[in-house]
Amino acid sequence: MTEQPVGILALQGDFALHAAALVRQGEAYLYVRRPGELAACRGLVIPGGESTTMTRLLDIVGLRQPILDFAAAGKPILGTCAGLIMLATRVDEDERRHGVKPLGLLDVLVRRNGYGRQVDSFVDEVAVAGRTETMQGVFIRAPRILEVGPGVEVVATWRGETVGVRRGNVTGLAFHPEAGEGGAWHL
Amino acid sequence: MQTPWTDQKIQERMRLKVGLAEMLKGGVIMDVTNAEQAKIAEEAGAVAVMALERIPADIRRDGGIARMSQPAMIKQIQDTVSIPVMAKCRIGHFAEAQILEALGVDFIDESEVLTPADEKNHVDKWAFKVPFVCGCRDLGEALRRIGEGAAMIRTKGEAGSGNIVEAVRHMRQVQEGIRRLTVLREDELMHEAKELGAPYHIVLEVAKTGKLPVPNFAAGGVATPADASLMMQLGAETVFVGSGIFKSKDPKPRAEAIVQAVTFYQDPVKLLEISMHLGEPMSGLDIATMPEDQKMAGRGW
């Protein structure tokens, strides 16, 4: 039996960069725009993009519940940037006003564009738990993790600040490993 | 001496600029003229808004000199929405661009929709921290803009016309130019670069990869979900909608429909469902009978 592909939520965002990163790792991928496509995958990547747009499209295509079931079944999920926002349990009061409705799979409080506007975007080295070498982190209008709930482990830090979290099979990163040099994050 | 292509700092910055363009893929960027429209656009699922005082259809109607929008009006839109805010500067008007950068806009469109400020030179976009998008009609124009540091390319189309024919022409020209490069012999590429009026090293890169080094979006004349799907099927990665939304009879459902059309551009059944029960689109203009001096696409060099 051939191994199942990794799904990439392709409603909007940098799904093409994630596809290229998976190909570099020798992984097969499948763009997911419908519940049936998700069912064929062994894991799911929620890419960067705009969380307001993703929220709208997620509900229109009816993928919210299937993704929650996918997570409950223990399958790995990785969210980067807007993907992290979509995984969070809590977004700033201010963000809810803009219509972001996250999936609530990772108990963190996030603030959208928490590092500022595009002119404040940056590239810097990120320390990764369990690795001796740092990796390049690309922060583009990145969300900021303000609070980490109980049971959520920190998997990446930048200047001592939490920029990556995990709980069981669900991982969220504030930056884009897929946009960095040789960047990859194994599901 | 360092060039923009060998300077590590500039290239790192470029990674961030192109990165933001990547994040906008599969989305719709909407022209808005006030905070209320910006809110409607955000709620409809726009990935970004273009803040401008008059949409192209009105610039066309009013005539006169079209300049950068009032900063106070752009600021108001920045304070209203959480998605990226773009704004336009005149072709070659680097001082307008500097002001927009100081204002913290997320992307600058060096746009033919405004009256050009320089008849030869475009803005040196490497000098900025903020990313730029530029319009093009063919591959040579696209590669010149990329050579100047543009982080995103879009078709010019014919803004404010509600007529997709020019955007289709420009997208096909770019794609045809790219395909041609991929089949030429390597010893023919210098001559091709000369014919295109494009930087040789970028011509080499495109010949090798078969695609532009920056995202390629569609703009100019998109009025319906079908128009958006057409441009995506022709190779666009995102769609700008200018007058098409807020010049239509009922902007909100139209905005929502075009957002969905870009995600499901390959699915006719879904497109049918999306297109059902939409009100009247904006009325359009025939490009063939449009006087030459009223065409915006010819601006830029």
pLDDT band of B270, cuts 50, 70, 90: very high
Selected residue of A31, A112, A121 to mutate for chain B interface (largest B Cβ count, 10 A): A121
Domain of A99 in residue numbering reads as 6-179
Interchain contact, B106 vs A141, CB within 8 Å: yes
- Residue B194 is given by DSSP the state H
User: What is the pLDDT averaged over residues A106-124?
Assistant: 95
Give the max Cα distance, chain B: 60
- pLDDT tens per residue, range A43-72: 999 999 999 999 999 999 999 999 999 999
Interchain contact, B25 vs A16, CB within 8 Å: yes
Residue A105 Cα distances to A6, A11, A24, A83, A85, angstroms = 19, 19, 28, 11, 10
User: Order of strands, edge to edge, in the sheet holding A43-46?
Assistant: A29-32, A6-9, A43-46, A77-80, A170-173, A161-167, A153-158, A122-128, A135-139
pLDDT at B1: 67
Quick check: B107 contacting A, CB < 8 Å? yes
pLDDT at A94: 66
Is A1 among the domain residues? no
Q: Partners of A43 in the beta sheet?
A: A6
Contacts of B15 in chain A (CB under 8 A): 123, 138, 179
- Residue B65 is given by DSSP the state -
Which of A1, A41, A24 has the alpha carbon at shortest distance from A10? A41
Is A186 among the domain residues? no
Average pLDDT, chain A: 93
Alpha carbons A116 and A121: distance in angstroms, whole number = 7
Which of the residue ranges A9-13, B151-155, B219-223, B231-235 would you say has the lowest mean pLDDT?
A: B219-223
Alpha carbons A16 and B275: distance in angstroms, whole number = 27
User: What is the pLDDT averaged over residues B275-290?
Assistant: 80
Is the pTM here over 0.90, yes or no? yes
* H/E stretch holding B201: helix B200-209
Which of A78, A141, A173 has the alpha carbon at shortest distance from B16? A141
Residue of B nearest to A113 (CA): B82
Quick check: A58 contacting B, CB < 8 Å? no
Is A109 among the domain residues? yes
Cβ proximity of B225 and B275 under 8 Å: yes
Is A72 among the domain residues? yes
User: What is the pLDDT averaged over residues A164-172?
Assistant: 97
- pLDDT tens per residue, range B192-247: 999 999 999 999 999 999 999 999 999 999 999 999 999 999 999 999 998 889 88
What is the rounded (10 degree) CA torsion for A86, A87, A88, A89? 100
Interface A-B, measured as beta-carbon pairs within 8 A, has a size of 111
Q: The CATH number of the domain where A29 resides is what?
A: 3.40.50.880
pLDDT at A1: 47
The SS3 call for residue B154 is strand
Quick check: B46 contacting A, CB < 8 Å? yes
Higher pLDDT, B53 or B140: B140
The pairing of strands A88-91 and A135-139 is unpaired
User: So which residues of B are the catalytic ones?
Assistant: 88
Is A111 among the domain residues? yes
Quick check: A39 pLDDT over 50? yes
pLDDT at A96: 60
Interchain contact, B19 vs A176, CB within 8 Å: yes
Quick check: B263 contacting A, CB < 8 Å? yes
Alpha carbons A182 and B17: distance in angstroms, whole number = 18
Is A33 among the domain residues? yes
Interchain contact, B84 vs A141, CB within 8 Å: yes
Lookup: tokens for A108: 């963190």
pLDDT at B32: 95
Interchain contact, A12 vs B129, CB within 8 Å: no
Is A99 among the domain residues? yes
Higher pLDDT, B281 or A116: A116
pLDDT at B73: 96
Percent of chain B with pLDDT over 70: 100
Contacts of B107 in chain A (CB under 8 A): 118
The pairing of strands A43-46 and A77-80 is parallel
pLDDT at B300: 85
- pLDDT tens per residue, range B8-59: 889 889 999 999 999 999 999 999 999 999 999 999 999 999 999 888 888 8
The SS3 call for residue B162 is coil
User: What is the pLDDT averaged over residues B66-73?
Assistant: 95
- pLDDT tens per residue, range A137-156: 999 999 999 999 999 999 99
Contacts of A12 in chain B (CB under 8 A): 25-27, 47, 262-263
3-state secondary structure chain A: CCCCCEEEECCCCCHHHHHHHHHHCCCCEEEECCHHHHHCCCEEEECCCCHHHHHHHHHHHCCHHHHHHHHHCCCCEEEECHHHHHHEEEECHHHHHCCCCCCCCEEEEEECCCCCCHHHCEEEEEEECCCCCCEEEEECCCCEEEEECCCCEEEEEECCEEEEEEECCEEEECCEHHHCCCCCCCC
Interchain contact, A15 vs B25, CB within 8 Å: yes
pLDDT at B287: 77
Cβ proximity of B49 and B83 under 8 Å: yes
Quick check: B25 contacting A, CB < 8 Å? yes
Is A187 among the domain residues? no
* Number of domains present in the structure of chain A: 1
Residue of B nearest to A56 (CA): B45
